[in-house]
Amino acid sequence: QAQLVESGGGLVQSGGSLRLTCTASGTIYKINSMAWYRQTPGKQRELVARITSEGNTNYAESVTGRFTISRDSGKKTMYLQMNNLQPEDTAVYYCHTNIWRQPFDRPLDYWGQGTQVTVSA
């Protein structure tokens, strides 16, 4: 079994910063790309940022220049540094990845439990 656990959400004022952490644990042979998504009530979950195993990144246009995604592959941990937060960034943030549990298994889809980020005006 494997799992993703997020931490670091909270309440912050507009213009403030937060750092989210996502750690994968359990039976893991390989992880490729990891990503952060966010969701607000009544809306579809949207991609915020993605990072490949080689460290290549891409961001949603709305967060480019404010958010930075990074990872520590040795620790199977991914981070999202969020600066200059705005009220429209308020959402539940989820981490996502595909995990190979054994060398010849097909990858399985994993989501974290979500962490709430609330930005007050």
Contact call for residues 52 and 58 (beta carbons, < 8 A) = no
Which DSSP symbol is given to 89? G
- 56 φ, ψ (degrees, to nearest 5): -75, 140
What pLDDT score was predicted for residue 75?
Answer: 80
What pLDDT score was predicted for residue 56?
Answer: 96
Q: How far apart are CA 66 and CA 118, in angstroms?
A: 16
Indicate if the pLDDT at residue 1 is higher than 90. Answer: no
Rounded alpha-carbon distances, angstroms, from residue 80 to 13, 22, 23, 38, 50 = 18, 9, 12, 12, 10
Residues 66-91 have a mean pLDDT of 95
Interacting residues of 52 by C-beta distance below 8 A, sequence separation 6+: 32, 33
Indicate if the pLDDT at residue 87 is higher than 90. Answer: yes
What pLDDT score was predicted for residue 62?
Answer: 97
Residues 17-42 have a mean pLDDT of 95
> Is residue 107 packed enough to be buried (19+ CB in 10 Å), middle (13-18) or exposed (0-12)?
middle
What pLDDT score was predicted for residue 74?
Answer: 83
